[in-house]
Structure 1
Amino acid sequence: MNELRYPIEGVIYHDEAQARRYQDSGAWARTSVGDALRATARRQPEAPAFITDEGSLSFRELDEQTDRLAAALLDAGLAPADRAIFQMGTTLETVLALVACYKAGIVPVCSLPQHRELEIGQLVRQSGARGYFVQADFHKFDLVAFAEKMAAGSDTLAHLVVARGSAGSHLAMRALIDAMPLDQARARLADVAPGARDVLSFQLSGGTTGVPKIIPRFHAEYLGHALACARLYELGPDERFIWALPLLHNAAQLYVLMPVLAMGVSAVLMSRVEVRRMLELIEQHRVTRAVSIGPIAPQLMAYPDLDKHDLSSLRLFTTMSRADRLEETLGVPCSNLFGITEGLLLGAPPSAPAHVRHHTQGKSGCADDEIRLLDPESETPVPEGAMGELCFRGPSTLPGFFDAPEANAKAYTSDGFYRTGDMMTAHVVDGAVHYTFEGRLRDNVNRGGEKIGCEEVEGLVTAHPAVVEARLVAMPDPVYGEKGCIYIIPKPGCAAPQVRELADFLVAQGLAKYKCPERVEVIDAFPVTKVGKLDKPALKKMIADKLAREAQEAGQGAQRGAA
């Protein structure tokens, strides 16, 4: 089923000739995600698909339950091409809800349980979401009550689906599944199943402003992208992943969810990151693949009892950076990675030379990807060996952000290469070009894989009654890679708010807690460049140097205390 059945206004689609070319080359699949799962379930019905401490799902169970839920959602009033907000953790219920939406043509919007009024309000308005999936038992926060509040203030939200708890007057996810006969469900879906070129999900750009840009990803494209990455990583049919981070993220979808559904590999899911339990599960389930997007790798390197765990089943552990240190710690092959939701994945398999795995982010697994390193101020390629802005086009490059003509006008070169804002250098190894990440041009904080737009936070901080101006920069952190440091110019006669007070103020305005600055620095005036522009690199250097001095002084103090 190669057609586009449910076009969405505001989505930019690949043109017909381009789509045919990508399917002919094998860069795109010729099927939908739902049909890919159905084929896997026929091939290996009783093999485990997803495993958790609470229970497991075989491929047959996953296929049957998602058929039933998909049909029930349609009967409840949702329709193909409708969008749905997700505030759910990493559980079997989230897998069922996601896959059911894929089968029904409902488009999940990448949202997190930690998001609050600001983020969810923006996403609902931008996406025009009609559905809302929540997990009733996610920590102590009442997501059901929060969703009710958001729905009451929305012109579009009409269907609230509740998992893992009391649904009240809303749709209970388990009840929807149980009440739908399988034969009836399959007959219902046969008439409405999405095509391979339909939108699969709405992902989010890690941009620099307070308003996230929406990235449509498509069934054929996403499957093809994930399978190309799996081939690059030399993924075999007996592989088993472990995953503890949000399932809505691009990384979870491409590295884990799509390979499970389409290839029949399996995944162990954890509802939260807990290093000791992760190592126990690797041992218990003979996990072969692990991925660190965020704080997992630093926590592993700090864990004191590694030698008590058998990690011999691991064939590869991929991480965002410092794969050399992780490999030294774990004693298993490790490699760096790079991924961007706009459509490029770089990586290196366990068979790659150590230099490639440890000192580059690898290469693309798709032969149709075109990659250039350009001067950030022009479209001129940088000289060989020089650092340049990573730009790319290819089968998984987004054709355009959703309903965002101004952003699209700035995002591409004149010949259609997407400009990432990430600086790389290129290295030829064994005849193939590999890329090393050198830094970012864009103004954001990458806190353990979660991108925090500095503009968004700055705008809210300057609303504080004691603040004249504020600028957020990334400061180095041993666990998360980066955290946010806010430089504040206070109003005359006022004291700048401290970290806790500022966080309370920002959360009250609807900002997610993880976006709140974790250090406050008071400054009389911001440094400027020679042409009078704000010099954020100088602010970053100031806080990095200050942290280094503090660490050195703390070390000296510890030595004096020991003496």
Structure 2
Amino acid sequence: MTLAPDTSGKLVRYPAEEEDRYVGEGLWESPTIAEHFHSIAQEHGGRDALVCGDHRLTFAELDRITDRRAAGLHRLGLEPGGAVLLQVHNTVHTVIGWYALLKAGLVPVCTLPLHRGHEIAEIARQTRPIAHLVAARDPRFDLVGFAFDQAEAAGAERTILVSDGPASHPRAVELDSLGDDIDGAEARRTVEGIQAGLGMQSLAVFQLSGGTTGVPKVIPCLQAPYWHYGASLARAMGWGPGDRIAFLMPIVHNAGVIIGLQGPHSVGATLVLGAPNASAALDLVAGNGATDALLGPFVFDLALDPGLSDATALRRVLFSGKKVPRRHMEVLEAQGIWGGQIFGMSEGLCLSTPLDFPLDARVASVGVPISPADEVRLYEPGTEREVAPGEVGELCARGPYTLHGYYDAAAHNRRAFTADGFYRSGDLMAERTVAGVRCYTVEGRIKNMINRGGEKINTEEIELLLGSHDAIAEAALVAMPDARLGERACAFVVTRAGVHIDLTEVRAHFERLEVAKYKWPERVVVVSEMPRVSQVGKIDRSRLREIAATLAAEPG
């Protein structure tokens, strides 16, 4: 048996009085996500739970197959509570794997297929995984070999699981057939026995933050709070049985889990899953009778596609990741399609524009919190003084699905939370009245963070990596506007005397360091010196952003 790591002293749970309150108000219900899903499957067994390409699974089918996979994982000796790194794609087997891990009492760690040794080694150091689930085939990279190499480098006992194809390594275990020989009733008893040992505040999932220093910090998502997150969004969106939600951003990501999986499934709705591919978006939505679609920045322009008239079932479109142009909303409105915005964090708080908001408010704002128990305060940055309505302040939050502390990060937690437990998001917002309704508008952020198509790039992490190159004396990374992705990374560097560097060499340096490609700078600007706020002050990042914006606007 592979033993799960001890989480005592590392996991910050909700105080007992908050649990009592949320249970009393009906916000936290039965203990675990797996139990909720099983109940939904019993109620909506014949309905489609998942449509992915040519594959369709009803709730009953998905429930039965994930019972068997979970029992198979348990038979491998993977102890409940153990973490499992995930590097998989948007496929039917990934959805099966997700629920199977939860039913086996294992803790998915939501990394990306794009992550490399720089990220995975540190995330694994923090979570101490007992297994690593990877795609059997990836056209860009050998994830199976990578998983074995990472386990060997860490000197760790780690089961390597593969999905979506046969195992190319003799010691890898194929998840897609695991437990097929186990009787369904026996598998259900195994799952029920595992779930009986879990509670409302048992660890369910590890998500990753954008972080403020170094690689991402680990966010512990607990059973009842994390289910409430998705269920609250489903209620806010008015989803129900028969609705079909098209999703084509990475599914093993907080947005994917909440908007694609647990949100729709909490009400018996269907996930229509596609690959993150803008060219396939129209067919995904129109060809599968989607009633709803979540659009990230790379696919915003689907709203302007004349072919959207073929999507006769489409009723609602949610935009996420950057400010949506008014034209996109107006084009949808003219077709009788509701358009709105969503702003959510892996750490918790989520806001969305209510269905009854007027168009002006849906264009200008991200709406209001999705749960009645969400608490929001806007503080003057660096203080605990609230700003007046209409003024810009740091978004701070507390509530039934917002974390109380990062995993095993006591020192950081003292800075990341207010004295009374509000999470400091680092995002700047204002509470305004638009078209007669109260709402929140996004005004920027305090953190030095780049939002590249929904993926967060921590500037300090990349600056440290740039500074490790022998040619670079000083580096600063800022956001450069991009029409498709919202932002890209632009690096300003001061080189050492007489040494040359360019984008090609920077990329080669990042490849040697095994850094995920989406974090690589996409423009390098060599400067003789950095602009400063004062003669001995900090780098003037506002000035660098102005220069980057000018460069982005230049033709070619």
TM over 0.5: yes
State the match for 2:241 in structure 1: 237
Q: Which amino acid letter does the alignment assign opposite residue 365 of structure 2? A: T
Distance 1:444 1:375, change over 3 A: same
CA distance in 2, matches of 1:132, 1:26: 36
Distance 1:439 1:358, change over 3 A: same
Q: Does the Cα contact within 8 Å between 1:446 and 1:483 map onto a contact in 2?
A: yes
CA distance in 2, matches of 1:444, 1:307: 35
State the match for 2:510 in structure 1: 506
Deviation at 1:433, TM superposition (A): 3.3
Deviation at 1:106, TM superposition (A): 0.4
Deviation at 1:9, TM superposition (A): 4.6
Q: Cα deviation per residue 1:75-119 (whole Å; 9 max; x = unaligned)? A: 101111100100000111111111011111100011001100011
Deviation at 1:143, TM superposition (A): 0.8
State the match for 2:525 in structure 1: 521
State the match for 2:430 in structure 1: 425
Q: Is 2:192 aligned against 1:187?
A: no
SS of alignment partner, residue 100 of structure 2:
helix
CA distance in 2, matches of 1:148, 1:262: 36
Q: Cα deviation per residue 1:237-267 (whole Å; 9 max; x = unaligned)? A: 2210111111121111111211233211001
Q: Does the Cα contact within 8 Å between 1:26 and 1:224 map onto a contact in 2?
A: no
TM-score by length of 2: 0.93
Q: Does the Cα contact within 8 Å between 2:234 and 2:267 map onto a contact in 1?
A: no
CA distance in 2, matches of 1:328, 1:23: 41
CA distance in 2, matches of 1:120, 1:25: 39
State how 1:58-137 maps to structure 2 within 5 Å.
58-137=58-137
The one of 324, 331, 341 aligned to 1:322: 324
SS of alignment partner, residue 177 of structure 2:
helix
Q: Which amino acid letter does the alignment assign opposite residue 325 of structure 1? A: R
The one of 280, 284, 292 aligned to 1:281: 284
Superposition RMSD on alpha carbons, in Å?
1.8
Q: Cα deviation per residue 1:145-166 (whole Å; 9 max; x = unaligned)? A: 1111111112434211111222
**Superposition misfits of 4+ residues, deviation over 6 angstroms:** none
Deviation at 1:371, TM superposition (A): 0.7
State how 1:140-539 maps to structure 2 within 5 Å.
140-167=140-167, 168-193=170-195, 194-275=198-279, 277-298=280-301, 300=302, 306-307=306-307, 309-320=309-320, 321-322=323-324, 324-330=326-332, 331=335, 332-428=337-433, 433-497=438-502, 499-530=503-534, 532-539=537-544
Q: Does the Cα contact within 8 Å between 1:33 and 1:261 map onto a contact in 2?
A: no
Q: Cα deviation per residue 1:402-426 (whole Å; 9 max; x = unaligned)? A: 0001110100111211111111111
Q: Does the Cα contact within 8 Å between 1:136 and 1:164 map onto a contact in 2?
A: yes
Distance 1:23 1:431, change over 3 A: farther
Q: Does the Cα contact within 8 Å between 1:489 and 1:524 map onto a contact in 2?
A: yes
CA distance in 2, matches of 1:329, 1:406: 49
Distance 1:54 1:147, change over 3 A: farther
Q: Does the Cα contact within 8 Å between 2:281 and 2:299 map onto a contact in 1?
A: no
CA distance in 2, matches of 1:390, 1:308: 36
Aligned length: 541
Distance 1:257 1:323, change over 3 A: farther
State the match for 2:3 in structure 1: none
Deviation at 1:54, TM superposition (A): 3.5
Deviation at 1:20, TM superposition (A): 1.4
CA distance in 2, matches of 1:463, 1:452: 18
Q: Is 2:552 aligned against 1:547?
A: yes
CA distance in 1, matches of 2:446, 2:492: 19
Q: Which amino acid letter does the alignment assign opposite residue 211 of structure 1? A: V
CA distance in 1, matches of 2:389, 2:266: 39
> Which stretch has the larger CA shift, 391-400 or 153-162?
153-162
Deviation at 1:29, TM superposition (A): 2.6
Distance 1:475 1:429, change over 3 A: closer
CA distance in 2, matches of 1:350, 1:256: 19
Deviation at 1:24, TM superposition (A): 1.2
Q: Cα deviation per residue 1:433-458 (whole Å; 9 max; x = unaligned)? A: 31000101101111001001111111
CA distance in 1, matches of 2:64, 2:247: 23
Q: Which amino acid letter does the alignment assign opposite residue 164 of structure 2? A: R
CA distance in 1, matches of 2:521, 2:140: 22
CA distance in 2, matches of 1:339, 1:229: 10
> Which stretch has the larger CA shift, 437-446 or 265-274?
265-274
Q: Does the Cα contact within 8 Å between 1:133 and 1:162 map onto a contact in 2?
A: yes
State the match for 2:54 in structure 1: 54
Q: Does the Cα contact within 8 Å between 2:274 and 2:284 map onto a contact in 1?
A: no
Distance 1:425 1:199, change over 3 A: same
Structure 2: gaps spanning 5 or more residues: 1-5
CA distance in 1, matches of 2:151, 2:385: 48
CA distance in 2, matches of 1:211, 1:119: 6
Deviation at 1:429, TM superposition (A): 5.7
CA distance in 2, matches of 1:525, 1:308: 50
Deviation at 1:40, TM superposition (A): 1.6
State the match for 1:561 in structure 2: none
CA distance in 1, matches of 2:40, 2:242: 13
Deviation at 1:312, TM superposition (A): 3.0
SS of alignment partner, residue 153 of structure 1:
helix
Q: Does the Cα contact within 8 Å between 1:31 and 1:220 map onto a contact in 2?
A: yes
